[in-house]
C-alpha cells in the first residue's frame, strides 16, 4: 500500500529500457523549440522522463522545470546531465512530482505535456492535473498537450504479443521487448502488458514483465475535459508539422489557453 502523498512510479520497471524505445525520437523537438523561444519564463515539461526533450531544449537556450512522477526516469536524466556543460545544467531544474498535485510556486508562459504523457492520467487525475496546470500558467500562457487516440486498437486489438524492441543497449546487452494489448472500453483504458528478455554475455538471461495502463478519449470528450479544466482549444494538430487532424488521426497535439476561473493557486 502506498502511503498518502507518495509518488507512484508507474515507470519504475521500464526506465532502464525506455531510451531503447524512444530515446532517439525527436520529430516533435522543432515544434516545442519554436514555442520555447517565445517564452520569457522557464517552461514546465510534464513527463520529462530521461530528458529526451529536456536536454536538447536546454542546449537551445530554454530554461526548463523538468517534472516527472517517476524517480527512476529522473535518475537517468540526472546521470545524463552530468555529461552536459555547466551552462546547460544550470538551465534545468528537476522536480519529482505528481502533476495532479503540482505546486511549483511560480507561473510559466509555457507548459508542455509531450509524447502521450497525458494518457497516463487515470480517472480524475486528468482533470486535477489540468486545473493545476491552469494555476501555473500566466494570463497569456499556453499549454501544449500531445494525446494518443488508439483508433487502430479499437478496431482490432492485436491478438497476441507484438515485438516492439530488439536492440543492444549501451552496456552491450541484447534487450527484446514484447507488448500485449487489451482494452477496457467501459473505463476507456488501454492495458499494456510488457515482457522483456535481457541477455548479457556470460550471464543467464533475465526476464521480466509488468503492466501499464493509459487512458484514451474519443470524439469531443477531450474538448469537454479541457473546458472543465479551465482551458479552451486554440489550435490542434495531427502531428508536429502543422497538419490539421482528420477523423482517423490517432495523434493530436492541442494548443490550449486558459479561460475563466483559476482552480489552483501558486505562491
Of 48, 116, 42, the closest CA to residue 77 belongs to 48
218 versus 59: which is more confidently predicted?
59
**Distance between CA 142 and CA 35 in Å, rounded?**
9
Of 47, 53, 51, the closest CA to residue 9 belongs to 47
pLDDT at 9: 86
Label residue 102 exposed, middle or buried (CB < 10 Å: 0-12, 13-18, 19+): buried
pLDDT at 12: 86
pLDDT at 266: 44
Residue with cell 484514451: 216
**Distance between CA 201 and CA 196 in Å, rounded?**
17
Other C-beta atoms lying within 10 Å of the C-beta of residue 61: 12
**Which whole-number Å values give the CA distances from 160 to 163, 178, 193, 194, in the listed order?**
10, 9, 11, 12
Within a 13 Å sphere around the CA of 16, how many CA atoms are in the beta-carbon half?
A: 14
Asked if the model's pLDDT at residue 98 lies above 50, the reply is yes
pLDDT at 6: 59
Band of pLDDT at residue 261, cut at 50, 70 and 90: low
Mean pLDDT along residues 56-68 = 98
**Distance between CA 114 and CA 103 in Å, rounded?**
19
**CA 127 to chain centroid:** 16
**Distance between CA 264 and CA 262 in Å, rounded?**
6
pLDDT at 170: 87
Query: Helix or strand or coil: residue 190?
Result: strand
Q: How would you label 190-200 residue by residue, b for 16+ Cβ within 10 Å and e otherwise?
A: bebebebebee
pLDDT at 247: 84
Task: Give the least confident one: 44-53, 73-82, 125-134, 213-222.
Answer: 213-222
Task: Give the least confident one: 1-15, 33-47, 69-83.
Answer: 1-15
Kindly give the pairing relationship between strand 92-96 and strand 174-184. Answer: unpaired
**Which H or E run includes 70?**
none
Query: Helix or strand or coil: residue 125?
Result: helix
**Distance between CA 11 and CA 83 in Å, rounded?**
23
Amino acid at each position: 500500500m502506498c502511503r498518502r502523498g507518495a509518488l507512484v512510479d508507474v515507470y519504475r520497471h521500464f526506465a532502464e529500457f525506455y531510451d531503447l524505445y524512444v530515446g532517439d525520437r525527436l520529430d516533435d523537438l522543432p515544434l516545442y523549440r519554436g514555442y520555447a523561444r517565445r517564452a520569457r519564463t522557464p517552461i514546465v515539461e510534464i513527463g520529462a522522463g530521461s530528458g529526451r526533450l529536456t536536454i536538447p531544449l536546454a542546449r537551445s537556450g530554454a530554461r526548463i522545470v523538468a517534472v516527472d512522477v517517476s524517480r527512476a526516469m529522473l535518475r537517468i536524466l540526472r546521470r545524463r546531465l552530468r555529461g552536459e556543460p555547466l551552462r546547460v545544467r544550470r538551465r534545468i531544474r528537476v522536480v519529482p512530482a505528481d502533476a495532479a498535485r503540482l505546486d511549483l510556486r511560480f507561473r510559466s508562459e509555457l507548459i508542455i505535456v509531450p509524447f502521450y504523457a497525458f494518457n497516463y492520467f487515470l480517472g480524475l487525475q486528468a482533470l486535477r492535473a489540468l486545473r493545476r496546470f491552469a494555476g501555473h500558467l500566466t494570463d497569456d500562457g499556453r499549454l501544449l498537450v500531445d494525446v494518443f487516440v488508439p483508433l487502430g486498437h479499437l478496431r482490432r486489438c492485436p491478438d497476441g504479443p507484438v515485438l516492439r524492441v530488439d536492440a543492444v543497449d549501451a552496456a552491450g546487452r541484447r534487450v527484446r521487448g514484447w507488448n500485449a494489448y487489451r482494452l477496457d472500453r467501459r473505463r476507456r483504458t488501454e492495458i499494456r502488458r510488457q515482457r522483456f528478455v535481457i541477455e548479457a554475455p556470460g550471464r543467464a538471461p533475465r526476464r521480466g514483465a509488468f503492466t501499464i495502463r493509459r487512458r484514451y478519449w474519443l470524439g469531443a470528450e477531450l474538448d469537454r475535459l479541457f473546458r472543465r479544466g479551465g482551458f479552451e482549444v486554440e489550435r490542434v494538430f495531427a502531428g508536429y508539422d502543422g497538419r490539421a487532424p482528420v477523423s482517423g488521426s490517432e495523434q493530436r497535439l492541442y494548443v490550449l489557453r486558459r479561460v475563466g476561473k483559476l482552480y489552483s493557486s501558486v505562491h
